[in-house]
C-alpha cells in the first residue's frame, strides 16, 4: 500500500484527495500538491479529512481516563458529544482502566480520526518507568497502529541536552506537557537518550505500513504567560522540523505540535508565523494557546481568544481546551462547551485566513428577516440557540421596540 504522500509524490490523485477536495471546495490537484510537499496531511477513519494550508482549520477534542477517573462509557459519550458539536478528530489520552478496550469502543463509536499518545499506555501498563524497555515503547506503537489509530503523538524532538537546558532555564512552570514529562522521566530514569529519537526510523516504518500520521509532540511549550520562548523551546521546534522532513522523505505524513500552552497575547501571531516558517508550512497543531492564566474555570473562553489569533495567523489544527482545564477531566457539558468554543475559534481564524464566510452572511439575512428557524439552522449550535430563545414571546430583548422592526417600518429599507 502506498501512503498518501507517496502517491502524491508520484502525481497520483487518490480517492481520499478527491474527497478532501470536495469537502473543502478546493481543486484535487491542489490537495495532491499540498500532500506531496508535506503542507497537507490526510487522516482517514470512516472518512478522510485534510489538515493543512489552504484548508478549513480543524479542531481536535481530547478525551480519556486518568489513573484516578475511570469510566469507559463516559469517555465514549464524550467522543460522541465532541463529534456532534463539531470536533474533526478525537484524541484518546486514557491512562486508567482497560485502555485498549476504551480505545476500541471510541474507534467504533465515532467516524472521525483517532489520535493517541502511545507513551501514556506504556507507562500506565507498567506503573513506573524503570521496567519499561525501549522495545516496550516501540511495541505499544506497533499495537496501536495495528488497532487502527489514525495518528500517534511522539515527543521525538526532545533530547537530554534540552532537559539539562531546562534545568537552567528561568521558567516558572518548568515542563507542562504530560507526554513530554513521561518521556523525560523515562530518559532520566534510564540515563538514556530519547527512545523515540533513537528508534525513529523503525517507528516511521511502522507508521508507513498503515499510513498512520506522525504527530510530533511539543514537550517544551510554556506553561504560563510569563514563561517566554527560551532555548529549549526553540531547539525542540527546529528538531521537530527536521524530524518531519525525515518522515516525509520516508513516505510518512507528519503534523507538528507547537506554539500551544500559555503565550502572551502580543506574541501569538508572531510565534505562529515564525513556527510555520521553520516547519516549511507543514501542518501546525496548537493547543490553545491561553493568553492569560487567571481564567481558571473559563479557560475555554480565554483559549478561544488565543486560538482565534493563532489560526488566523496560520495554525491549521487546534486542540480544544475545556472549562475544566487545569482542574479536572471534563464532563459531557464541558466537552460540549470546549468543542463549541474551538469551533468559534476555528471559524474566526478561517474568516481571517479566507475572508468573512457565506454562512455568516446567510445567518445575518435570516436575522434581518427574524427567521428564527433559519438562524438556528445556520448557528454553530442551533440547539443551544433554540433553548435560549423564548419561542412564545419572540425575542424578549427588545420586545415591541425591536430596532430591526422599527427600521423596516420607518426607513423601509428593502430586504
Beta strands in 300-369 (DSSP E): 317-319
**Nearer of residues 8 and 290 to its own copies, judged by Cβ:** 290
N- to C-terminal Cα separation, the chain? 55
Cα(96)–Cα(72) distance, integer angstroms = 9
What is the closest distance, in whole angstroms, from the C-beta atom of residue 220 to its own copies in the complex? 12
Stretch that binds its own copies, among 20-28, 53-61, 146-154, 180-188 (CB under 8 A): 180-188
What is the closest distance, in whole angstroms, from the C-beta atom of residue 382 to its own copies in the complex? 7
Residue 50 has phi, psi (to 5 degrees) of -105, 140
What is the closest distance, in whole angstroms, from the C-beta atom of residue 2 to its own copies in the complex? 38
What is the closest distance, in whole angstroms, from the C-beta atom of residue 207 to its own copies in the complex? 25
What is the closest distance, in whole angstroms, from the C-beta atom of residue 279 to its own copies in the complex? 24
HSE-CB at 191 with a 13 A cutoff on CA atoms is 0
Burial label for 361, CB within 10 Å (0-12, 13-18, 19+), is exposed
Stretch that binds its own copies, among 110-118, 154-162, 218-226, 278-286 (CB under 8 A): 218-226
Residue 285 has phi, psi (to 5 degrees) of -105, 125
Asked if 161 touches its own copies (CB under 8 A), the answer is no
Asked if 121 touches its own copies (CB under 8 A), the answer is no
With CB under 8 A as the rule, give the number of residues binding its own copies: 112
**Nearer of residues 210 and 368 to its own copies, judged by Cβ:** 368
Site string for its own copies, 13-42 (x = CB under 8 A): ------------------------------
**Nearer of residues 86 and 251 to its own copies, judged by Cβ:** 86
Strands 40-44 and 48-52: antiparallel
- Is the CB of residue 118 less than 8 Å from the CB of residue 147? no
Binding to its own copies in span 57-76, by CB under 8 A:
66-69
**Nearer of residues 73 and 400 to its own copies, judged by Cβ:** 400
Asked if 122 touches its own copies (CB under 8 A), the answer is no
Angle between helices 231-249 and 160-168 (to 10 degrees): 160
Residues 6+ apart with CB under 8 A from 186: 119, 123, 129, 132, 137, 192, 195
Asked if 378 touches its own copies (CB under 8 A), the answer is yes
Out of 152, 166, 237, 241, the only residue in the binding site for its own copies (CB under 8 A) is: 166
Q: How far is residue 271 CA from its own chain's centroid?
A: 17
The grid coordinates of residue 223 equal 506553561
Stretch that binds its own copies, among 143-151, 179-187, 239-247, 250-258 (CB under 8 A): 179-187
Residue 353 has phi, psi (to 5 degrees) of -65, -45
Asked if 345 touches its own copies (CB under 8 A), the answer is yes
Binding to its own copies in span 299-318, by CB under 8 A:
300-302, 304-305, 308-309, 312
Out of 55, 203, 315, 340, the only residue in the binding site for its own copies (CB under 8 A) is: 340
Asked if 173 touches its own copies (CB under 8 A), the answer is yes
Out of 48, 180, 232, 283, the only residue in the binding site for its own copies (CB under 8 A) is: 180
Quote the DSSP letter at residue 57: P
- Is the CB of residue 63 less than 8 Å from the CB of residue 335? yes
Taking Cα atoms as reference points, which of 356, 354, 260, 357 lies closest to residue 310?
Answer: 260
What is the closest distance, in whole angstroms, from the C-beta atom of residue 112 to its own copies in the complex? 21
Residue 258 has phi, psi (to 5 degrees) of 180, 175
Is residue 93 classed as helix, strand or coil in its secondary structure?
coil
Asked if 294 touches its own copies (CB under 8 A), the answer is yes
Stretch that binds its own copies, among 6-14, 28-36, 137-145, 377-385 (CB under 8 A): 377-385
DSSP bridge pairs for 151: 115, 213
Amino acid at each position: 500500500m502506498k501512503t498518501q504522500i507517496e502517491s502524491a509524490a508520484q502525481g497520483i490523485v487518490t480517492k481520499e484527495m478527491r474527497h478532501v477536495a470536495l469537502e473543502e471546495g478546493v481543486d484535487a490537484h491542489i490537495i495532491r500538491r499540498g500532500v506531496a510537499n508535506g503542507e497537507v496531511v490526510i487522516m482517514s477513519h470512516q472518512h478522510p479529512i485534510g489538515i493543512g494550508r489552504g484548508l478549513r482549520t480543524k479542531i481536535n477534542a481530547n478525551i480519556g481516563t486518568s489513573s484516578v477517573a475511570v469510566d469507559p462509557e463516559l469517555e465514549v459519550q464524550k467522543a460522541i458529544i465532541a463529534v456532534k458539536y463539531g470536533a474533526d478528530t478525537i484524541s484518546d489520552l486514557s491512562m486508567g482502566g482497560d485502555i485498549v478496550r476504551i480505545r476500541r469502543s471510541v474507534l467504533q463509536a465515532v467516524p472521525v480520526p483517532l489520535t493517541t499518545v502511545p507513551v501514556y499506555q506504556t507507562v500506565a501498563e507498567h506503573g513506573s518507568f524503570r521496567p519499561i524497555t525501549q522495545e516496550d515503547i516501540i511495541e505499544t506503537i506497533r499495537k496501536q497502529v495495528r488497532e487502527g489509530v489514525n495518528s500517534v503523538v511522539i515527543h521525538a524532538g526532545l533530547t537530554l541536552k534540552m532537559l539539562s537546558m531546562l534545568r537552567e532555564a528561568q521558567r516558572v512552570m518548568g515542563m507542562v506537557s504530560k507526554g513530554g514529562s513521561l518521556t523525560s522521566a523515562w530518559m532520566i530514569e534510564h540515563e538514556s537518550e530519547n527512545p523515540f529519537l533513537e528508534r525513529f526510523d523503525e517507528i516511521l516504518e511502522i507508521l508507513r505500513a498503515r499510513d498512520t500520521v506522525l504527530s510530533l509532540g511539543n514537550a517544551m511549550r510554556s506553561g504560563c504567560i510569563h514563561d517566554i520562548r527560551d532555548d529549549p523551546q526553540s531547539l525542540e521546534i527546529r528538531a521537530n522540523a527536521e524530524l518531519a522532513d525525515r518522515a516525509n522523505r520516508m513516505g510518512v505524513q507528519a503534523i507538528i505540535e507547537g506554539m500551544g500552552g500559555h503565550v502572551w497575547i502580543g506574541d501569538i501571531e508572531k510565534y505562529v508565523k515564525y513556527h510555520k516558517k521553520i516547519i516549511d508550512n507543514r501542518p501546525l497543531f496548537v493547543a490553545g494557546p491561553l493568553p492569560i492564566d487567571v481564567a481558571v474555570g473559563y479557560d475555554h473562553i480565554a483559549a478561544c481568544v488565543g486560538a482565534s489569533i493563532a489560526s488566523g495567523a496560520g495554525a491549521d489544527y487546534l486542540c480544544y481546551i475545556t472549562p475544566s482545564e487545569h482542574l479536572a477531566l471534563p464532563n459531557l457539558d464541558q466537552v460540549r462547551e470546549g468543542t463549541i468554543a474551538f469551533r468559534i475559534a476555528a471559524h474566526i481564524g478561517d474568516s481571517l485566513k479566507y475572508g468573512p464566510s457565506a454562512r455568516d452572511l446567510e445567518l445575518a439575512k435570516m436575522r434581518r428577516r427574524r427567521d428564527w428557524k433559519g438562524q438556528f439552522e445556520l448557528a454553530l449550535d442551533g440547539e443551544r440557540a433554540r433553548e435560549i430563545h423564548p419561542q412564545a414571546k419572540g425575542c424578549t430583548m427588545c420586545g415591541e421596540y425591536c430596532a430591526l422592526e422599527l427600521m423596516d417600518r420607518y426607513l423601509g429599507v428593502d430586504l
